[in-house]
Structure 1
Amino acid sequence: MNKILRRTPSRGVALLAAVFFPTAVFAKAADQAPTAREHTLKASPSTVVWGYFDGSKSPVLTIEPGDTVNVETMVTGARILRLLGVPERVIRPSMIEMDEKVKQEGSHILVGPIAIRGAEPGDVLEIRIRDMAMAEPWAVNVFTPGGGTLPHLFPYQGGKFVPIDLKRKVATITSGVEVPVRPFFGNIGVGPPVLVGRLSSRPPGYHGGNFDNKELVAGSTLYLPVHVKGGLLSVGDGHAAQGDGEVNGSALEASLRGKLQIFLRKDLKLRWPQAETPTHYITMGLDPDLDEAAKRAVEEMVEYLVSTKGLSREEAYILCSAAVDLRVTQVVDGTKGIHAMLPKSVFVKSAVR
């Protein structure tokens, strides 16, 4: 059985590491759900916060470990959509109501928080992303002065309303240019320790948050350490599609529906969020300097391979160079991200120590 890593925070920036937990470990989570229930939670003024994570917030929903939550998020309020030139016909009354009744304190409308009964600081939430789908047949993209990677070339506001063909699962950028739709939540996080106060929903950290990692689609699993009673999970920042880097400051921002099954793991002791996809192990490095982020992503992968696969440090470093792909997660949230992707297929069962 793989050894579960305990991450110790390094200076300055949270380092995120993704590890694979074998079937025997997953079974412990599955045992929690013999009579699991399904819940529905849609974005409304009574079910969201706008722009932050707060460990002192009261939950809008309390569930049992193993329950599934069908979450519907909202791209943003009506005021911002009108400023972007979004057609009035697609602006729902609930988007107008959001502006009227919820105080905007940041960029992202987050549905939640959701409390998981029995969760205590030191536990881990295992969030299995069962399904993702578009809630509306459109998305928006926007860039603003001073943002993105090319502010010197675009010192003005721009944006676009992007129609989506739900049957073909493509977004039309302009005539003859289509992008495959691959929806995911850019922002999934838990409540930070109460003494920390509110954290902006923009940068990711030890609480999870704004990963903007396009690999976290349906079929992936995310592990978040719990910092407050109940965990207080919130999700939002729906993306219909995004390139690695999110270079102009936003993805194809959209309202999404997601099915999340949430387990409580008292057998895991993690310091940093971790995740996996069906095909890859992924480690992430975060730093204002992209070079440092890359170094930290590789360092985390070496540590993972030594700690869980029995490789020597030299073997791990060689494997990273031979098989790991470094990708730019995002470069537009102040803290930049690099994620290192290692295919699970490199491990032949008989060869693993």
Structure 2
Amino acid sequence: MPELVFPLDSAKRFTEQRLMGHNRWHPDIPAAVTVKPGAEFRVHVRDWLDGAIHNDDSAEDVLNAPLDAAHRLSGPFAVEGAQPGDLLIVDILDLGPLPQEDSGPLAGQGWGYTGVFATDNGGGFLTEHFPDAYKAIWDFSGQTTTSRHVPGVKFTGITHPGLMGTAPSAALLRKWNAREEALIATDPQRVPPLALPPEPRDAILGTLSGAEFDRVAAEAARTVPPRENGGNQDIKNLTRGSRVFYPVFVDGAHLSVGDLHFSQGDGEITFCGAIEMGGFIDLRVDLIKNGMELYGVAEHAIFLPGNTGPNYSEYLAFSGTSVTLGGEQRYLDSQLAFERACLHAIDYLTKFGYTPEQAYLLLGAAPIEGRFSGVVDIPNSCATVYIPTAIFDFPIVPTAAGPARIDPGAGAPRAGR
């Protein structure tokens, strides 16, 4: 096992640990650990909400989830010799749920969760259709998972970090804040908001304190969106065996990682759409000097996806085009086309007995494939959603006999009832 350089005690909250992580992006957050190029090391990671979501049959915790405190990130990890303009090579050697215990109160201890967030607390991709808070608990058995809240399915997870990236430079941070503030200004009262500005409340900034903490907290960027440094990209194929090339913007690179997922469908469409968990991740780091200029990788990460399973071979695919539910034609709107494909898949799954909310949670958690399939044929974009047929305990392909009806159980818990 690689050396454990960032341990977390499961009996303590994230802010009570011996090594302090962070939940904002800023170049002045001190490194928690320094490693050498070529080093292999293990990192413990807490689930993104630090135990705020519980293994029960209520969604009140999702309704009241403390989003100002997201995400809990392990790090930063300074890499000796890394300088602005370099590319940081990060190999994901292994990762998984918490190794310390089989079951316990924290996500990753034998279980994980998927949530539909209420519109006024983050929302999700389909928040106009699903405005309330729902939750599904998933139980782990080795590499597979099942849920009492979405019965009739069992699948192997593509375990991956939802969030990993390097620290921004001061100039890049100012660029982020300026462009996101300009976006917010176009509709400042929108619910959910168009973007999240810096928020000192609930900021976690490593070992910073006093006036320096206050300054950084007022400037630091939230970790919710992906940006030039990588960040919260939620790429399900960024699994073990992957190699990622991150731009370096500050001395030491200051790599951070968090938001581990046991499984996720493309798009993580419910916002808390993956199966969230805490756990461990083993990494190896190295450098390509002046790599940003050599390869033109200046404002994005590139990666070689891992080749680990699951390897599903049969899918039932649903398509959507850029026409609203009200019949309005939009011009090559691929986002809308993907939304319509998801809604078509949800509507189809209800014919087998699932509630729309159960189907929505399933699309967020299971390893579905989402694709932009046509973006040139005016006026309609086409997007597709591929669902592996093998994850179901019953046949879902259309036949003359009609859909088999399953017992949906008690359904997914909804806040307020």
Q: For the Cα contact (< 8 Å) 1:185–1:237, is it kept in 2?
A: yes
Pick from 217, 226, 229 the counterpart of residue 239 of structure 2: 217
Aligned to 1:141: 114
Q: Assess, with a 3 A threshold, how the Cα gap between structure 1 residues 326 and 114 changes in structure 2: closer, same or farther.
A: same
SS in 2 for 1:213: coil
- Offset from partner CA, 1:315-352 (integer Å, 9 cap, x none): xxxxxxxxxx9736xxxxxxxxx9xxxxxxxxxxxxxx
SS in 1 for 2:154: strand
Aligned to 2:291: 268
Q: For the Cα contact (< 8 Å) 1:50–1:107, is it kept in 2?
A: no
Q: Assess, with a 3 A threshold, how the Cα gap between structure 1 residues 277 and 151 changes in structure 2: closer, same or farther.
A: closer
Pick from 160, 165, 190 the counterpart of residue 136 of structure 2: 160
Shift of 1:145: 1.8
Aligned to 1:333: none
SS in 1 for 2:74: strand
- What residue identity is the alignment partner of 1:224? Y
Higher-strand-fraction structure: 1
Cα distance in 1 for partners of 2:90, 2:304 equals: 11
Cα distance in 2 for partners of 1:79, 1:132 equals: 19
Shift of 1:175: 3.5
- What residue identity is the alignment partner of 1:172? S
Q: For the Cα contact (< 8 Å) 1:171–1:181, is it kept in 2?
A: no
Cα distance in 1 for partners of 2:275, 2:134 equals: 13
Q: TM-score, normalised by structure 2?
A: 0.52
Shift of 1:130: 0.7
Shift of 1:79: 6.2
Cα distance in 1 for partners of 2:336, 2:80 equals: 36
**Which stretch has the larger CA shift, 210-219 or 103-112?**
103-112
Q: For the Cα contact (< 8 Å) 2:225–2:231, is it kept in 1?
A: yes
Q: For the Cα contact (< 8 Å) 2:136–2:147, is it kept in 1?
A: no
Q: Assess, with a 3 A threshold, how the Cα gap between structure 1 residues 109 and 205 changes in structure 2: closer, same or farther.
A: same
Give identity over the alignment, percent.
26
Aligned to 1:239: 261
Aligned to 1:81: 53
Q: For the Cα contact (< 8 Å) 1:110–1:235, is it kept in 2?
A: yes
- Offset from partner CA, 1:232-270 (integer Å, 9 cap, x none): 110001100000121111211011211100112215223
Q: Assess, with a 3 A threshold, how the Cα gap between structure 1 residues 48 and 234 changes in structure 2: closer, same or farther.
A: farther
Pick from 275, 279, 298 the counterpart of residue 252 of structure 1: 275
SS in 1 for 2:227: coil
Aligned to 1:172: 147
Shift of 1:72: 1.4
Q: For the Cα contact (< 8 Å) 1:164–1:172, is it kept in 2?
A: no
Q: TM-score, normalised by structure 1?
A: 0.61
Shift of 1:156: 1.6
- Offset from partner CA, 1:185-228 (integer Å, 9 cap, x none): 00001110124242221111111101100010001110111101
Cα distance in 2 for partners of 1:86, 1:67 equals: 43
Q: Assess, with a 3 A threshold, how the Cα gap between structure 1 residues 327 and 78 changes in structure 2: closer, same or farther.
A: same
Aligned to 1:90: none
Aligned to 1:327: 371
- Offset from partner CA, 1:88-113 (integer Å, 9 cap, x none): xxxxxxxxxxx9xxx97442110010
SS in 1 for 2:52: helix
Pick from 36, 41, 44 the counterpart of residue 6 of structure 2: 41
Pick from 334, 339, 345 the counterpart of residue 291 of structure 1: 334
Cα distance in 2 for partners of 1:292, 1:157 equals: 23
Cα distance in 2 for partners of 1:326, 1:209 equals: 20
Shift of 1:149: 2.6
Cα distance in 2 for partners of 1:255, 1:79 equals: 9
- What residue identity is the alignment partner of 1:74? R
When the two chains are superposed, the root-mean-square deviation of aligned CA atoms in Å is: 3.1
SS in 2 for 1:244: coil
Shift of 1:179: 2.6
Cα distance in 2 for partners of 1:111, 1:213 equals: 19
Aligned to 2:198: none
Cα distance in 1 for partners of 2:67, 2:136 equals: 22
SS in 1 for 2:235: coil
**Which stretch has the larger CA shift, 109-118 or 69-78?**
69-78
**Which stretch has the larger CA shift, 110-119 or 140-149?**
140-149
Question: Which has the higher Rg, Structure 1 or Structure 2?
Answer: 2
Aligned to 2:225: 203
Shift of 1:125: 0.6
Q: Assess, with a 3 A threshold, how the Cα gap between structure 1 residues 228 and 104 changes in structure 2: closer, same or farther.
A: farther
Cα distance in 2 for partners of 1:252, 1:207 equals: 24
- What residue identity is the alignment partner of 2:155? V
- What residue identity is the alignment partner of 2:258? G
Q: Assess, with a 3 A threshold, how the Cα gap between structure 1 residues 199 and 123 changes in structure 2: closer, same or farther.
A: same
Cα distance in 2 for partners of 1:293, 1:48 equals: 41
The unaligned stretches of length 5 or more in structure 1 are: 1-36, 88-98, 281-288, 295-324, 329-337, 339-353
- What residue identity is the alignment partner of 2:140? I
SS in 2 for 1:80: coil
Shift of 1:150: 2.5
Shift of 1:293: 12
- Offset from partner CA, 1:142-174 (integer Å, 9 cap, x none): 1122212322332221112221112x5334354
Shift of 1:127: 0.1
Cα distance in 2 for partners of 1:78, 1:208 equals: 22
How many residue pairs get aligned? The number is 239
**Which stretch has the larger CA shift, 168-177 or 211-220?**
168-177
